[in-house]
Structure 1
Amino acid sequence: MLYVMWKNVGRLLASSTHGHSHGHTPSRVSLFRETLFAGPILGLMLFVVGLAVFIIYEVQVSGEGGRTQQALVIYYSFNIICLGLMTLVSLSGSVIYRFDRRAMDHHKNPTRTLDVALLMGAALGQYAISYYSIVAVVVGTPRDLLGALNLAHALLMIAQHTFQNVFIIESLHRGPPGAKPHDTTPKESCHGLTFANQDALHTLPACPPTPRLVGTNPVGPQEAVAIISAPRGHWRRRCLKDISLFLLLCNVILWIMPAFGARPHFSNTVEVDFYGYSLWAAIVNICLPFGIFYRMHAVSSLLEVYVLS
């Protein structure tokens, strides 16, 4: 938070470059209308199931019935399904952008640069936890169901962070809807001396009026704007909005679980036995806050991606 404040102190934002809005402010009606409803529905289902899994995990781990292993199996199974779906959805969003002809926004934007830096930096915490978990599971002696679930969870965690970062960064660098790529010409094509003949300007004859066809019905300004702004690939925008909402809801539930006390890193004894409690506790306590901050910042970025899609 101090880093974000430090990067933004004293910086003035113009109205045209505020955030990543690109001058596009959607209305409240269109905000929830242009979706296929598949992403929000599936995201809400995973959110509700995730809350139930979190409650079951906390009850069984804190109880005295010895159901810790069963709680870990349920917890890891849900996370594997959720992370797998998020990875596939993020990958599909990147594939959709391959066919999107919107212009890329290469203008200097300090806010966007800061968002990308925070996403990449905060993801390193979860990368570190997953890396140490993979080493402990692969090198460790036990080969059981819990170890396999832990290994799959760590691998999918790395893949999900990677593909989601690619999708978010690519989304933030896209222009507004309807913006077409244009060929940029060099500003200074010729290097040399240029002479202007001021006397020749006064000898030029007056330009005759441009002939116009009679009987044609020119397209009015409103019709022209409607024709230009009507995207051919309108289904791509709907898919991207669904993808953004789905990833947003999944990141919310994956943010709630560790933020409210889910610690499978200590309930599962594979890493504790391999590294020792002190070393593993230091790794988790240093890296896990970065993972929680990543989910929080990803929710904000995905909401912005949804608005700009």
Structure 2
Amino acid sequence: MAMHSMMEGACLNDVVFIHPVLHGLFTFLQMHFLFVNSQVLVERFGLAARFGFMHLAATNLALWVRLIVWESGNEWTYFVHLSQSSGVRGGVSNNIPTPLQLRGFPRSVVARHQRDLSFSSNATSYYSYRPISDSHISQVVALHECLNTNTLGQLWTSSMPFLYPFIVQFSLIAAAVTFVMGQNVGRGRIFMKQKKLANSHSKGCSMPSAGEHSLRSTWSVDCGGASKGLFLGILCLVAGIVVIIIFLVVKEDEEFPTDTIFWLTTGAVAAMLGLCCVMTSVGLVQIRRLSTSGQEPTPLDTLLSDVSTVGVQLYAVFGIVVGASGLGIRDITDTGIPHRHAMLLAVSALQLVQVTGQSVLIAEALRRATLTRHQMLAKPARQVITFLLCSNAVLWAYDTFVTQSWLSQELQLRFFGVLAWGIISRIGLPLLIFYRFHSCVLLLEIWKRSYRTPILDPGN
């Protein structure tokens, strides 16, 4: 809205401009509604209430789908425009940077597809692949040039790759919360009936002893059994932050070798994922020493964890496909391409294994607790939980600032193309970032709840 108010001319009509206004209003009102009523069980107007909650969930998912279509379609249209105009007019003639430049697209991707334009022998005509009409391309180019005539417009375009995952994560959380609330419509009456029935059966059956009345139970949480995992996790956190800072500094430097950036970023994430795989394997063995608590994860956490895990696995599988397919390619212009594909294959495989193992570990740890004295003293797997908490935090930052950059997705862009990979990445990457964030929340909950120690105080 601020960008629209600073424009010299009207780029959008009032009907199109009203969309961000309504989107912002919808987001604010929905956030207020969820914060105030997320724990409320709706008992009346069952069918209408359930329809309203499902409509809210579908609306949030529709906003995600619209964003995928809009962003991917605009980038692909402008990419086709650059590929067709590069051999005829020498590219864009004005000084306004293209959206591909503002969003950090690697230069090799655009240069590779300029070969789609071929000239005839007499140089009087040319033949090119035109999947989009010229009028559609002209509309997209004119809209971009109008929106990016000022600094605020260019800042908005360049920041969209970083803002997009947070929009998707908010839509995902809101859709999951409203879906669970819709499933719980009318559950309050059923719960009250079951509670009354249980109270009627328990009357006269047993009486609490005097010792139970005289003891009051409280819980304490300390940092025992977490020092080694915390130290190793902080070490990974510092190393990851250093790599992120280096990437953000050198990615705009055209003279800095892109191969060096690739090996630095992928080497760092491969080391962290490999260490996480080892620690997760140790945790899966040690967590079985804890007792079963009888508690189950909440339906909301289960839904969010399942959806985000599927998204991460989808993203990793496509990375494995790109890496495995590129191992047999020999590019005479770049002798390091096969090695980069092998590294991409290794990182994607590590990510698939690590996420699957960590999801199993989290699901198991949420159902266990320390009950015996030996468990309270030994605290099995707490070192692993502490390390995974720190490592998921740094991987969340890494995926937000490094993996999210188009420069880190050059091999995938060259294999799938701008349109296909634009859609795939806009589905998988936000779920990958959200998975790291949600894992931190669940691991912190495990760290506090599964290892708390009861303290019995004499009652009055």
Give the deviation of 1:57 after TM superposition: 1.4
Per-residue Cα deviation, 1:15-53 (whole angstroms, up to 9, x for no partner): xxxxxxxxx9642xx422x12411000000000000000
In the TM superposition, 1:1-309 aligns within 5 A as: 1-6=173-178, 7-8=180-181, 26-27=219-220, 30-32=221-223, 34-98=224-288, 100=289, 102-105=291-294, 109=296, 112-140=298-326, 141-142=329-330, 144-174=338-368, 176-178=369-371, 229-231=372-374, 234-235=377-378, 237=379, 239-260=380-401, 262-263=403-404, 266-307=407-448, 308-309=450-451
CA contact (8 A) 2:225 2:382 kept: yes
> Which residue type is aligned with residue 275 of structure 1?
F
- With normalisation by structure 2, the TM-score equals 0.48
Map of 2:95 onto structure 1: none
- Aligned mates of 2:272, 2:219 — CA distance in 1: 30
Q: Secondary structure at the match of 2:370?
A: coil
Gaps of 5+ in 2: 1-172, 192-216, 331-336, 452-460
Contact 2:244 / 2:398 at 8 angstroms: preserved in 1? Answer: yes
Q: Is the 8 A contact 1:136 1:270 kept in 2?
A: yes
Contact 2:322/2:345, CA 8 A, preserved across alignment:
no
User: C-alpha separation between the residues in 1 aligned to 2:292 and 2:318?
Assistant: 41
Taking structure 1 as the reference length, the TM-score comes to 0.71
Q: Give the 3 Å change call, closer, same or farther, for CA 162–265 of structure 1 in structure 2.
A: farther
Q: CA RMSD in A?
A: 2.5
- CA separation in 1, counterparts of 2:310 and 2:292? 30
- Distance in 1 between residues matched to 2:441 and 2:237, nearest whole Å: 17
Q: Which has the higher contact order (CA 8 A, sep 6+)?
A: 1
Q: Which stretch of the first structure deviates more once superposed, 151-160 or 138-147?
A: 138-147
Aligned partners of 2:341 and 2:446: how far apart in 1? 36
C-alpha separation between the residues in 1 aligned to 2:375 and 2:256?
Answer: 58
After the TM superposition, list the runs of 4 or more consecutive aligned residues in structure 1 that deviate by more than 4 angstroms. Answer: 8-13
SS, match of residue 352 in structure 2: helix
Displacement of 1:272 in angstroms is: 1.4
Q: Which amino acid aligns with 2:244?
A: F
Output the amino acid matched with 1:42: L
Would you say the 8 A contact 1:61–1:67 is kept in 2? no
Aligned residues: 240
**AA matched with 1:81:** A
The CA distance in 2 between the partners of 1:92 and 1:37, in whole Å, is: 16
Structure 1 stretches lacking a partner, 5+ long = 14-23, 179-228
Letter paired with 2:272? C
Per-residue CA deviations over 1:148-173 (Å, capped at 9, x if unaligned) read: 21111000000010000010000011
Relative to 1, partners in 2 of residues 1:269 and 1:38: Cα closer, same or farther, differing over 3 Å? same
Q: Answer 1 or 2: which has greater strand percent.
A: 2
**Separation of aligned partners in 1, 2:228 and 2:405:** 31
- CA apart distance, 1:277: 1.4
